[in-house]
Amino acid sequence: MNGQVTAQSEKYLRRFADEEEALQTRLSKIDRTAATCLFGNASSRYAELQAAVSNASSVGIPGAIPGAHLPSLDSLKNTLLFLQVNEDKIPGLSGTQAKRLSASIANVEALEGRMQVVDNLKNWMGQRQAYLSQQLGKYGMGGQLGKMNQTVYYYKQQVGDWKASLQDPSKMQQKAVMILSQVPAYKRFLSQHSYLSRLFGQPEEYQLTDSSMKGLQTRAAVQKMVQEKTSAGGSGAQQQIAQQVQQAAGVMSQLKSKLSGGAGADGPNPGFTPNSQKTKSLWKRLVYGANLQFEPATNLLPTLCDVALSIGYRLNDKATVGVGAAFKAGLGNGLSHIQFSGQGLGIRSFVDLKMRKGFYLSGGYEENYLPTFRSLGQLRIPSCWQESGLVGLSREYQISKKVKGKAQLLCDILSFYQTPKAQPIVFRVGWSF
């Protein structure tokens, strides 16, 4: 995770720097003096930012503040610290195991530092983008920040993905925290050392649970503290504070509108359609599938069952392309003449385009080898391969959390040119993972 956060952040920062350099070049052609004043010594600035990312230090990032609290990471670090402090009381936690524990703590602290750095870098990029958009708008260049807007958008999405992955610890980590939560010493240790407990304190009667709210004060405790603080101001103190809070909320909304207006940090250029798949790794964009297709017997072929496996790649949220392979199994001629045989192979390509929730426009090109298959040498005969061009509709539905069902009704537009002639209407049922 440390390596991934560093490498991806450096990549986005280089891209952002290149886009700023391109904007500086365009502005120089209009007003060289303005370009120098607006962009300054960009190379030196980005060198400091790259160093901050590499060293996991927010020094060098303008306007850096403490990063957002990550409850799961905070609990993991403090759990490891608790084990380290009490290693003399835990059987087997010595020697090599103690060194591994120290290394784990160092890794978690490093990741915590890096997450604070990327949080500050994300905020700086958004502010820099909004500032450049405002200044370049004076020269009619406000619409030329399209690529920069996209870079900031996807980096924010990437940071959000990292935080989400940190909030989803493995079952082993959850089990360890759940067991330790039953130990009074662990509760006391966490109440003293957790991030939010250091900021706000924690009431002694607070019950620790295995949730993302570890270390937070209860609502009743907060209300009690506020009432005690405001009671000294008299009967109208609470009403006055409520009015001031509303005014502060209004000011924050105005500031947010200014930052997000036009081509701001959260308002990409017109015509830009965000792609949530862009920041995902290759493995998370792959879709694995299997399907079945039955064909009735003909004068030349027995009843066929195509058993196919496929792998798809999500281009974006609405389009998936992929390839697959099928084995054609012969089932005989009717229930009284069941006989299993190998009747050929098939290779496939496909594309699915989402139309509305659960419905897709599907198409594909396939090559099917129909003669009885006995050796690989037979596959080299071109005349034995039969082409199919499929187009139709697919319906996808949820079976379980990780498995989806899929039913397809397709028309083979090349079936009329085939020998032997295939069924023009194809129905398939399958699953995707």
Q: What is the pLDDT of residues 173-204, one digit of tens each?
A: 777 777 777 777 877 777 777 665 655 555 55
CA distance 77 to 86: 14
Rg (CA), the chain: 31
pLDDT per residue over 28-79, tens digit each? 999 999 999 999 888 899 999 999 998 888 888 888 887 667 877 888 888 8
Q: What is the per-residue pLDDT for 12?
A: 94
Can you list the domains of the chain with their CATH numbers? 2-217 (no CATH), 283-432 (2.40.160.20)
| Predicted pLDDT at 25 | 93
Beta partners for residue 310, in sequence order: 289, 324
Residue 235: the pLDDT is 65
pLDDT-derived band at 14 (thresholds 50, 70, 90) equals very high
Q: Which regions of 118-214 does DSSP assign to beta strands (E)? A: none
What is the distance between the alpha carbons of residues 13 and 236, in angstroms, rounded to a whole number? 51
* Alpha carbons 292 and 376: distance in angstroms, whole number: 24
CA separation (Å) from 239 to 230, 231, 250, 251?
Answer: 10, 11, 17, 19
Confidence check: pLDDT of 411 > 60: yes
Q: Between 105 and 233, whose confidence is greater? A: 105
Contact 192, 204 (CB under 8 A): no
Tens digit of each residue's pLDDT (9 = 90 or more) over 301-333: 778 889 999 999 999 999 999 999 999 888 877
Q: Count the Cβ atoms, other than its own, within 10 Å of residue 131.
A: 13
Cβ atoms 145, 129 nearer than 8 A: yes
Rounded CA gap, 43 and 50, in Å? 10
Span 255-283, average pLDDT: 68
